[in-house]
Structure 1
C-alpha cells in the first residue's frame, strides 16, 4: 500500500474527462494514495488530456512545468485523448514519465510499482480499434452535482473531429450499471446528476459497439427518473438528430429531468453542415428548438457553434450569425476552428485566416452575452428552485435554477447543497440574477 504517497490530478476538456478522472482517482485511493490539490506537492501527478482544440494541446506543457515546480522528483503521468493520439509527443515533454492510451488509463495504478523518474516517458498505447470495451465513471465535484458517464466513443465521421480516433467506436454502459451508479451518487447526498458521454443520444449500443440496441436513450431517461433521492437530472449535450420528440415530451413531464438542453449546431449554414458531415441540416435544428419551447416555454437551450471552418465565407458566417440571432436560444459555446491532424477538414480549401476566425468568434461571444441576458430577463418574476454551490466568491454564494439561470445571494454556508424555492427579482451589474426566498426553509 502507498499510505504515505500523495497523488494530484489535472483535467483538461469536457465533463466526460472529469468523470473519468474521478474514477481513476478512486483507483489511486483504493491503493492507499492520498488525493491532494494539483497546486500542492505530490508524489504523482496525473494529467487527463484533451485534443479538441489546439489550445488544450499547448496547455499540457505549462501544466507539466507547474507540477515540477512543486516537486521536481514527482512521477508525471499523461492519460486521455491527446495521450492516445500523440503518445510519443507527450512522452518527449521534459518531466513526463508515463503515457497511457485509451485502453490503459483505467489501469494506471498497475503501471506505477516504481515511482523512479524515467529519462524519457514510457508509452503504453493501443490501436484505437482495441478500445471496444466500456468502463463506467462518475465524478463528484463541488458536492452539489455529479457527472455520470453513460456512453463513450463515436461512430460519426465529422470532418473536423479527432474524437473517434481518440476514443474509438460508440459503446454504452448497461442500464443496470448506470442505475447502480446513480443510486450510489444519490446515497452521498448529491442533489444533481449531469449525464455525460461523447454522443449520449446514441446510448444503447452494445458493449462492443454492435448495432443491436439493448436499450434506447429514452428508456435510460425513464429509468433514471425513477431513482429515489435524485432531485435533478440534466442532459449535458445531445445531437439534434438524436433528440426525439418522445424524449422532449418526457422531460417536460418528468419528476427529475430539468428543462435545460445543450444541442450542438456547429454551423447555421446547410452548405457548411454538409462539408462538416453533420447528420442533420438547419431545418432539423429549428424544429428541435421549436418543439422544446412549445412544451417547455421556460427551457434553457445552449448551442455549440464552430467559427472559421474551411470555406466559411463572410456570407456564410453571417448566415450563421443571423440564424442564431433569430433563434429562441439562451447561450452559445463558441469554438474557433483549429486544424487537427488526420481529419478531412485539414485538407480542405478555403482556409479562413486566424485573425478573421478571432473576429468572428468575438462577434458570436457578444451574441451569446446578448442571448443570455435576454433569457435571464424573460425569467424575472418567475418562481423557480435554486441549488446552491459550496464556494464563497467574494462574499457571495451562487446557485443554478432548474433552467440554468445563475443566481447569487450574500454568502451563507447554511445554503450549501440545498434546494430552495425562489422568485427571480433583478439582474445585477455582473449579469447574474438576484432573488427573494419564497420560504426560508430548504426543500431538501
Structure 2
C-alpha cells in the first residue's frame, strides 16, 4: 500500500549515467514521481529525493558512479538517495555501503519505485537493498524520455540473451524482452501529440525485438513509420547479424527513418571476434556496411570498437585496424577493454598491458577523427534538413541533419524544435560542427 502523503511538497533531483536507455528510464521514474506531486528540483535548491541511475559497462563506469553518488549526497545532504541501474543490480552491497545511500533498487524494481518509498527517513545504516536474480528479471516496463530534449528516446526492448565473453549486461538487465508494437506505436503517438519530432529507438539488443510478443523488428519499424507528426526516427545500436537487408532496404525507402546507423563491430579481427563470442565475422560486417552505402551513400554509420581485450595480440590488433580503415564508416566509438567479474573473458590467458591499450585506443580515435572530418567536408555546400535543439552555448545553438551532421548557428529561440532546410557551410571555430551558409526554407 502506497502512502501518497509521503510525497507531498517534495522536490526530486535526477541523475543519469550511461546509455540512452538509462535516460529513457530515468525520465519515466521522474514522470511516476511527478504524478504523486513531486516536482523537479530547481537550480540552487536542495532536493528531498535524489534518484541516481547508474551504469556498469566498465570498471571506469563503476568508479564514475561511486564518485557521482558521493558528490550528489554532499550536494543534497538531507535527501533520500535512491541508486538504481546496472551498477546497483550487479553490486548492490557495494552500492548500499556508500555513505549517503538509502535505497538500492535492481533492474526489476527500478520502475516500481513508489512501492519502495514508503518512508523517506534517512539513517546512518547501509542502504536498503531490493534486487532480483538476473534470471528472474522478466518485466518489460515502457519508458520514453520526455524532459526538455528535442529528441525523445523510446525504449522498445530490454535485456540480452547473447552472453558475449566480455559483457555483464545480461546479468545486469536480464533476458531479452520487449513491448508490443501496438503499445510502442501509442507511445510514439503521445510523443507527437506533445510536439516531439524525433525519436531514437533504444534498447539493449533492439534487433532481437519480438522475443516476448512474437513480432519482428521490421514489423515494428514499419508500424512506427506510419505515425503522423514524427519527422524522424533513428535506430540506436543494432547488432550486425540482426540488421537484415530487408530492414536496410526499408529505411532507404521509408518516410521517417533517418539514414543513420550505429552498428557494434567490437573488433575487426575474426580471431578476436571468436574470443568475444560474437555472432558474426568481418565478412558479414563488411557486407552490411556495403549494403547500406550502396543504397544510402550519405548515411552516417557509427561503429563501436573495443581495444585491448584479452587475447588481442599485436597482430590481431593490426588486422582489426586495417579492416576498420578499409570500411566506409563515419565515426568510431572506441572503448578500452575492462575486466568484469564473472565474465568468460577472464579465462583467456593473454592480457594486454594498459599502456598498449591506450596506444591502440589513440590510433583508432585518430582514424575516427579522420573519417568523421572527411564525411563532414564531403557535405559542405550541400542542402540538408536540420532539426534545431534547445541548447544554448556561447550564444550559439545547434541541430542535426537527417544523417547526423552537427550544425551550428547563432541562437534563435524561434528555431527550437523546428526543422529548416539549409545549405551547409564550412567548419565552425573548433571543428565540432558545420556552419549554415544560408537558410533555404
What TM-score do you get using the length of structure 2 for normalisation? 0.96
Q: Name structure 1 gaps, 5 residues minimum.
A: 208-213
Asked if residue 14 in structure 1 is aligned to residue 19 in structure 2, the reply is yes
SS for the counterpart of 2:145 is strand
Q: Which runs of 4+ in 1 moved over 6 A?
A: none
Tell whether 2:104 aligns with 1:99. Answer: yes
Partner of 2:287: 287
* 1:244-259 matched pairs, under 5 angstroms: 244-259=244-259
- Tell me, in whole angstroms, the C-alpha distance in 2 between the residues paired with 1:233 and 1:382: 22
Matched ranges for 1:390-405 at <5 A: 390-405=390-405
Measured on the aligned residues, the alpha-carbon RMSD in Å equals 1.3
Following superposition, the deviation at residue 420 of structure 1 comes to: 0.5
Q: TM-score, normalised by structure 1?
A: 0.95
In the alignment, the residues of structure 2 paired with residue 94 and residue 215 of structure 1 have an alpha-carbon distance, to the nearest angstrom, of 45
Alignment partner, residue 379 of structure 1: 379
CA drift of 1:68 comes to 2.4
Question: Aligned to 1:138, what secondary structure does the other structure show?
Answer: coil
After superposition, give the CA deviation of every residue in 1:40-87 in whole Å (9 maximum; x if it has no partner).
Answer: 410111111111011110112221222222232211111111111111
Q: Distance in 2 between matches of 1:141 and 1:334?
A: 29
Instruction: Give yes or no for contact 2:302–2:329 (8 Å, CA) kept in 1.
Output: yes
Per-residue CA deviations over 1:171-209 (Å, capped at 9, x if unaligned) read 1100111001000111111110000000000001116xx
- The answer (yes or no) to whether the contact 2:386–2:420 under 8 Å persists in 1 is yes
Deviation of 1:231 after TM superposition, in Å, equals 0.3
The unaligned stretches of length 5 or more in structure 2 are: none
8 Å contact from structure 1 (residues 150, 203) kept in 2: yes
Instruction: Indicate whether 1:197 and 2:203 are aligned.
Output: yes
Kindly indicate whether residue 193 of structure 2 is the aligned counterpart of residue 150 of structure 1: no
Q: 1:29 aligns with which of 34, 39, 43?
A: 34
Contact preservation (8 Å) 1:132, 1:168:
yes
Shift of 1:37: 5.6
Report the equivalent of 1:4.
9
- Displacement of 1:363 in angstroms is 1.4
Q: Is the 8 A contact 2:55 2:65 kept in 1?
A: no
Preserved contact between residue 70 and residue 98 of structure 2 (Cα < 8 Å): no
Q: CA deviation at 1:141?
A: 4.2
1:4 Cα deviation (Å)?
Answer: 1.2
Counterparts of residues 417-436 of structure 1 (less than 5 Å):
417-431=417-431, 432-436=433-437
Offset of residue 142 of structure 1: 3.7
| 1:135 Cα deviation from its structure 2 partner | 0.7
Q: Distance in 2 between matches of 1:327 and 1:142?
A: 36
Which whole-Å CA distance do the structure 2 matches of 1:39 and 1:338 have between them? 37
Residue in structure 2 matched with residue 329 of structure 1 by the alignment: 329
2:67 to 44, 62, 65: 62
| Cα distance between partner residues in 1 of 2:163 and 2:223 | 30
Q: CA deviation at 1:381?
A: 2.2
Aligned to 1:210: none
1: CA distance, partners of 2:106 / 2:70? 22
Residue 140 (structure 1) aligned with residue 141 (structure 2): no
**How do residues 103-114 of structure 1 correspond to structure 2 at under 5 angstroms?**
103-114=108-119
- The DSSP-based 3-state class of the residue aligned with 2:51 is strand
Within 5 Å, which residues of 2 pair with 1:168-247?
Answer: 168-206=174-212, 214-247=214-247
Q: Distance in 2 between matches of 1:404 and 1:44?
A: 36
Is 1:386–1:399's contact at 8 Å kept on the other side of the alignment? yes
Q: How many equivalent pairs are there?
A: 434
Q: Is the 8 A contact 1:9 1:37 kept in 2?
A: no
Question: For 1:115 and 1:290, how far apart are their aligned partners in 2?
Answer: 55
Alpha-carbon separation, structure 1, partners of 2:375 and 2:70: 42
